[in-house]
């Protein structure tokens, strides 16, 4: 029986990797065609476009793995059915539960690989790809906005109470995460402006601060005139450098470079917490965070969904029909995954619900198909 398990696992793994390689080649081709339009602009050359496409492949692996697992598993299992190998395996003592355990075991390894790719490899390679592209195009994040980027931040005292409320304006964020033309507007707890800081450049100095360069600080002090009228006195001073403490860091600012779906779960968690601390909406990022948890598990669900195809004999359709059905199921899953994310945002559903409905629907479909196969045997 162990030989049968190894044989099934080997065939499924080979088929899944083959389908994944085919999808990666197809998507890489279209991504490269899309980049060709920018070749020749500024310093953007063919090698930069190629590097950008290749560095984007880990993100493609993460996105395509559930669909590749479904189609590859259907192909391998349909091959067993068409050659009557699965019938022989069942005669040798392979039960439906045993077959499900083999498929789920292979799916678990693919799920772990998907999670590691989405958490470690894909965000880093995507950030590097964007950095290469922006550097070659002599472009920066924020340059496309007339007033630059605006970020809300807070400064808390030792007890955790909000001491200062800040609105940070950054004209440009360079690919190396240094900032140009930074303006900080600080307000007290009564929403009265108390200070404005302007800096020509800024670079992050771990663990929780920025070194501002060529700084001009304007301090506003309330002054009482004629015992009744209050006015503000502005005092300006210049400094070559200023150590500025803030919860903002390059990881949080990296949200401006990457879409939420291509960020790591850790960076998403940081940014969600930052938005909550500043009383801003975090729905989109919470859904992306929950999808990071659920999406790798969808690989196991997709492979379980492929198992009923092994019990369908040739009379139920050739391998081509089954693979086509797998493609349609994969497209439907991908469509539902995007649809319920948008519906969750529009209807303010709980993030875990919006992220989990597509995988739950696929699991219920797999259970229903296995039950139907049992009744028709």
Contact 370, 96 (CB under 8 A): yes
- What tens digit of pLDDT does each residue of 39-95 get? 877 678 888 889 989 999 999 999 999 999 999 999 988 888 777 777 787 777 777
Query: Residue 228: what pLDDT?
Result: 58
Encode 279-290: b = buried (16+ Cβ within 10 Å), e = exposed: eeebbbbbbbbb
End-to-end, the C-alpha distance of the chain in Å comes to 23
DSSP conformation letters of 186-247: EE-TTS-EEEEEEEEEEEEETTTEEEEEEEEEEEEEEEEETTTEEEEEEEEEEEEEEEEE-S
> What residues does each domain of the chain span?
2-138+282-376, 149-256
Three-class SS state of 131: helix
Reading the block at residue 146, the tokens are 């007339």
- What tens digit of pLDDT does each residue of 27-39 get? 999 999 988 888 8
Contact 220, 234 (CB under 8 A): yes
Three-class SS state of 166: strand
pLDDT bucket at 255, cuts 50 / 70 / 90: low
Three-class SS state of 248: coil
Q: For the chain, give me the number of helices (H) and strands (E)?
A: 11, 6
Strand partners, 195: 186, 219
Query: Residue 19: what pLDDT?
Result: 94
Measured between alpha carbons, how far is 328 from 326 in angstroms, rounded to an integer?
5
Query: Residue 50: what pLDDT?
Result: 92
For residue 274, pLDDT over 80 is answered with no
- What tens digit of pLDDT does each residue of 108-140 get? 999 999 999 999 899 889 888 877 877 776 555
């Amino acid at each position: 029986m162990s030989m049968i398990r190894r044989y099934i696992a080997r065939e499924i793994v080979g088929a899944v990797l083959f389908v994944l390689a085919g999808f990666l080649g197809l998507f890489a081709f279209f991504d490269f065609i899309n980049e060709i339009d920018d070749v020749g602009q500024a310093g953007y050359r063919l090698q930069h476009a190629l590097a950008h496409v290749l560095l984007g492949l880990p993100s493609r692996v993460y996105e395509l793995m559930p669909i590749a697992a479904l189609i590859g598993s259907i192909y391998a299992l349909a091959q067993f059915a068409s050659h009557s190998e699965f019938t022989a395996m069942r005669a040798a003592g392979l039960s439906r539960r045993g077959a499900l355990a083999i498929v789920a075991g292979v799916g678990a390894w693919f799920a772990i690989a998907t999670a590691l790719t989405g958490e470690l490899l894909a965000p880093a390679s995507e950030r590097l790809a964007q950095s290469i592209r922006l550097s070659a195009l002599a472009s920066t994040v924020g340059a496309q906005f007339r007033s630059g980027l605006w970020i809300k931040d807070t400064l808390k005292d030792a007890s955790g109470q909000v001491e200062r409320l800040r609105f940070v304006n950054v004209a440009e964020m360079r690919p190396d995460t240094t900032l140009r033309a930074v303006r900080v507007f600080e307000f007290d707890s009564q929403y009265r402006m108390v200070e404005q800081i302007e800096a020509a450049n800024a670079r992050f100095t771990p663990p929780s601060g920025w070194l501002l360069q060529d700084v001009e600080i304007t301090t506003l002090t309330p002054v009482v005139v004629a015992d009744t009228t209050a006015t503000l006195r502005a005092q300006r001073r210049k400094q070559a450098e200023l150590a500025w403490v803030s919860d903002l860091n390059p990881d949080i600012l990296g949200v401006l470079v990457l879409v939420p779906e291509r960020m790591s779960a850790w960076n998403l968690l940081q940014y969600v917490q930052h938005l909550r601390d500043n009383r801003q909406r975090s729905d989109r990022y919470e859904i992306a965070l929950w999808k990071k948890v659920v999406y790798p598990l969808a690989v196991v669900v997709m492979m379980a969904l492929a198992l009923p195809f092994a019990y369908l004999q040739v009379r139920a359709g050739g391998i081509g029909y089954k693979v086509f059905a797998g493609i349609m199921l994969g497209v439907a899953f991908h469509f539902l995954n995007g649809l319920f994310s948008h519906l969750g945002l529009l209807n303010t559903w709980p993030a875990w619900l919006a992220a989990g409905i597509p995988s739950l629907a696929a699991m219920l479909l797999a259970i229903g198909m296995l039950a139907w196969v049992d009744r028709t045997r």
